[in-house]
Amino acid sequence: MLNPVQVNPKSIEAYREAAGDAVVDEILRLAEPLKGARVLHVNATAFGGGVAEILYTLTALMQDVGVKADWQVIDGSEEFFNTTKCMHNGLQGMEVPFTGTMTDEWVRINKENADRMELDYDYYIIHDPQPVGLIKYINEKARSAKWIWRCHIDTTQSFQPIWDFMHPYADEYDATIFTMPEYDPGGKAPVRVNFPPCIDPLSPKNTEMSPALSREVLSNFDLDLDRPIITQISRFDPWKDPLGVIEAYKIVKAQRPDVQLALVGSMASDDPEGWHYYNKTKDAAGDDTDIHILTNFEGVGNTEVNAFQGGSDVVLQKSVREGFGLTVSEALWKGRPVIAGNCGGIRMQIKNGENGYLVDSIEECADRILDFLSNPENSLKMGAEGREHVRGNFLTTRNLIDYLTLLGRLKDD
């Protein structure tokens, strides 16, 4: 067995208010023929990233509707996770070193984890590049199950040597899932579907929080709650562009000296590059006491993220490449004005000028921040539009419908 992750029970009935009766009834209808089916989700980490957040809810709701779903995490060496971070960057378009030593270690770890897998599941759902090789090395008994690879990455400009290495593994699967059609580079999987990830409206990160409680939580972080707060919630990663956020903040501060900036990120166990970029971000902030750089190692958990998103005057996600960007939907769900990079899955979430702004440069980002700060009534209106857009498209109930639909399709094949 791989490393099991325990999830807290959830009830699909609790989602009727957020998602609507018709959505929950559709889930129950789709789940009926799948009751008793055994499903195993596999990924590389149980905390610190969007995939882990999704799986805590998705696994629990699958269990609640009668699917026997489990979630397990692979083991890996430091060299393996350095390699998979390199692969992640390469899939997103960065030219990276990719050596035989790296691929040998990746194969070794996938083989070791494959040897430990249980073979009595009906469906295996493998998430992202780290464990995609499992299918090639498992016992033939498990090959009679249905295998699904879910890629959460924007692969539109993949560094070719990385995809050349990966696609023979992806081609082994019965189905692949990419967030958007343009992410799918093609392959031999007979079933190829597209759907975005989603947020859990009832999680501690996204449940409704009163302004009073938000202020109480934020008061623990040396912020002046009577001055404007600009926040970006994301990993410390070059693709999230925290250095560009700091530059945009400096432009804004020249005109609005009262602003403060919070850069809040979670350090994931499968992201060895995170601490390096965290330190680069600290260096870029210098001695500006109005820049607050915080992580889960400094008391920032889901409740605190909720408070930062709901209690900020402007929320940023200035990514330069983004598979989806769950933090955008999280902030929109809280009715906040959001400014985000004009890239990838973010374009699915923000209708430019209607429920937020898409930007292509540091200067444009700064201009839009000033727009929001100067027009709070427009900010609230756009925030309300954003919440309804998320309700209709990016709640976890829709994600569950997508998975149940795919499992039912594979069951009938």
Do the domain assignments include residue 245? yes
CA atoms of 364 and 362, how far apart (whole Å): 6
Q: Collapse the DSSP code of 352 into the 3-class scheme (helix H, G, I; strand E, B; otherwise coil) and give the result.
A: strand
Nearest Cα residue to 314 out of 211, 231, 380: 231
Q: Span 291-306, mean pLDDT?
A: 92
Task: Report yes or no on 203 lying in a domain.
Answer: no
What's the total number of domains in the chain? Answer: 2
pLDDT at 12: 98
Residues 236 and 182 in one domain: no
Does the residue 329 lie in any domain? yes
**Each residue's pLDDT tens digit, 152-194:** 999 999 999 999 999 999 999 999 999 999 999 989 999 999 9
Instruction: Assign 269 a pLDDT band (cuts: 50, 70, 90).
Output: low
What tokens were used for 186?
A: 């093609």
Count Cβ atoms below 10 Å from residue 402 Cβ, excluding itself.
18
Same domain, 276 and 404: no
Question: Quick check: helix, strand or coil at residue 157?
Answer: coil
Q: Note the Cα 198 to chain centre separation in Å.
A: 8
Angle at CA of residue 70, ends 69 and 74, nearest 5°: 145
| Whether 385 and 404 share a structural domain | no
CB 317 within 8 A of CB 338: yes
Mean pLDDT of the chain: 95
Q: Report the pLDDT averaged over residues 279-285.
A: 96
Judge whether residue 297 has pLDDT over 90. Answer: no
Q: Is residue 341 domain-resident?
A: yes
Same domain? For 29 and 164 the reply is: yes
Return the pLDDT at 141: 77
Query: Which string of DSSP letters, residue by residue, matches 88-115?
Result: HHHHTT------HHHHHHHHHHHHHHHH
**Residue range(s) defining the domain that contains residue 131:** 3-198+395-412
Q: Which range among 157-166, 272-281, 327-336, 395-404 shows the weakest confidence by mean pLDDT? A: 272-281
- 206 in any annotated domain: no
State pLDDT tens for residues 247-257: 999 999 999 99
143 or 199: which leads in pLDDT = 199
Is 112 found in the same domain as 173? yes
Q: What is the pTM of this model?
A: 0.94
Query: Is the confidence at residue 268, as pLDDT, over 70?
Result: no
Q: Are 390 and 349 in contact (CB under 8 A)?
A: yes
Confidence of residue 139 (pLDDT cuts 50, 70, 90): confident
- Partner residues linked to 72 by β-bridges: 4, 42
Residue with tokens 């973010």: 346
Residues 194 and 216 in one domain: no
- Whether residue 401 sits in one domain with residue 351: no
Q: Are residues 171 and 267 in the same domain?
A: no
The reply to whether 166 and 280 lie within a common domain is no
pLDDT, tens only, 360-375: 999 999 999 999 999 9
**177 and 320 co-located in one domain:** no
> Strand, helix or coil at 177?
strand
For the record, the structure tokens of 326 come out as 């769950």
Confidence band, pLDDT 50/70/90 cuts, at residue 36: very high
- Kindly indicate the confidence band of residue 412, based on its pLDDT and cuts at 50, 70 and 90: confident
